[in-house]
Amino acid sequence: MAFNPKHILGIKDLSAEDINFILDTAAGFKEINTREIKKVPTLRGKTIINLFFEASTRTRTSFEIAGKRLSADTVNISASGSSVVKGETLEDTAKNIEAMHPDIIVMRHSASGACDYLAERLDCSVVNAGDGMHEHPSQALLDAFTIREHKGSIAGLTVAIVGDITHSRVVRSNIYCLNKLGAKVRIAGPATMLPPGIERLGCTVHTRLEDAIRDANVVMMLRIQRERMGATLIPTVREYARYYGLNGNKLELAKSDAIVMHPGPINRGVELSTAIADGPQNVILDQVENGVAVRMALLYLVAGGEKLKTE
Ligand code: CP
């Protein structure tokens, strides 16, 4: 089966076969990243624009590295360095960029649905690098890749996701992805950070961290997204850390071989104690490493995949 989507906008519309195809493609690319010469000619002649309207360390850097390792020409544009600060609209910005004939635009934006909006209006491919509180598909795929690497397969696992669920695009993409791959998903957070109806996406909902992580195979901790909070949703960060931060005692409730994940950036001492953030069960830097291979796979597949070899 070949999978060559025009765009990658979210996990919701992908099938389990599509997801496994992406993960298998990423597995093929991973080895390139440890070679002495980390470059293959696969996307030579392709132009990729990374259009980031929100801050990013991991996603922007790894999409850029992924493109460069596949020999594409990559250009980075941030909101602060673009004419957005002069009042240009998203559509005008994107249309002007498209006039320069890029093959792929990778975009992060604070508005949920911004990537779908662009995809409907542009001829080039659009890859969602995180849109508001909607989806972060490449994060969920690198998370699935990392779980599969550590656990062998995802079907039958119990994955607990804890933190600011309301504001998290990572949790939405992960619920879709993990359900499609056969995992059971539990989410936990303060009631003020649990959006009504989230269980309809395919998860059980808990207000106590302990209930979510008991016997879990994977514990995924999320950051409090202060930049997206309007009113204060927690009394104090200290109190949040006491009830929803992961430390050694709480992690003992999970399976003894449970892995601890976090999409980053970490607030040390808030959602993770330093002992856990640096401890033997954490796979956080594996997630970052795998992000490059997964993003190589996404760029390759939207650019045409196998068809590239015959062009
Ligand atoms: N996980 C993630 O999206 O990190 P960045 O915000 O640094 O890209």
Active site residue 136: yes
Cβ of residue 291 lying under 6 Å from some atom of ligand 1: no
Query: Does residue 11 lie within any of the structural domains?
Result: no
What's phi and psi for 93, nearest 5 deg? Answer: -60, -50
Q: Please check whether residues 142 and 269 belong to one and the same domain.
A: yes
Mean pLDDT lowest among 181-190, 227-236, 283-292, 302-311? 227-236
Distance separating alpha carbons of residues 70 and 299, to the nearest angstrom? 9
Is residue 298 domain-resident?
A: yes
Please say if 150 is a catalytic residue: no
Asked, for residue 164, whether it belongs to a domain, the answer is yes
Specify whether the CB–CB gap between 48 and 67 falls below 8 A. yes
- What residues does 125 pair with on adjacent strands? 104
How many angstroms separate the Cα of 232 from the Cα of each of 131, 163, 193? Answer: 22, 15, 10
To the nearest whole percent, how much of the chain has pLDDT over 70? 97
Number of domains in the chain: 2
Same domain, 100 and 169: no
pLDDT at 107 over 60: yes
Place of tokens 């998860």: 203
Each residue of 155-168: pLDDT tens digit? 999 999 999 999 99
**Distance between CA atoms of residues 223 and 167, nearest Å:** 10
* Cβ contacts of 213 within 8 Å, gap of 6 or more: 160, 162, 186, 188, 219, 246, 250, 251, 253, 254, 258
- pLDDT tens column, 190-228: 999 999 999 999 999 999 999 999 999 999 999 987 766
130 with 146, same domain?
A: no
How many whole angstroms from 309 Cα to the centroid of ligand 1? 32
Nearest-atom index, ligand 1, CA of 108: 8
Peptide bond into 235 cis (omega under 30): no
Residue 264 Cβ inside 6 Å of ligand 1? The answer reads yes
Task: Confirm if 245 and 270 have CB atoms less than 8 A apart.
Answer: yes
Please state whether 87 falls in left (phi above 0), alpha (psi between -120 and 50) or beta.
Answer: left
Q: Are residues 257 and 173 in the same domain?
A: yes
**In-domain check, residue 279:** yes
57: Cβ below 6 Å to ligand 1?
yes
Question: Residues 22-26: what's their mean pLDDT?
Answer: 98
Note whether 76 and 200 are same-domain residues.
no
> Sheet containing 204-206: which strands, arranged edge to edge?
204-206, 184-188, 158-162, 218-221, 259-261
SS (H, E, C) 266-284: CCECCCECHHHHCCCCECH
pLDDT at 231: 59
Give the pLDDT confidence score for residue 19 in this predicted structure. 98
Domain containing 255 equals 137-283
Residues 131/115, Cβ–Cβ less than 8 Å: yes
Distance 57 CA to ligand 1 centre (A): 6
Residue minimizing CA distance to atom 5 of ligand 1: 56
The CATH number for 181's domain is: 3.40.50.1370
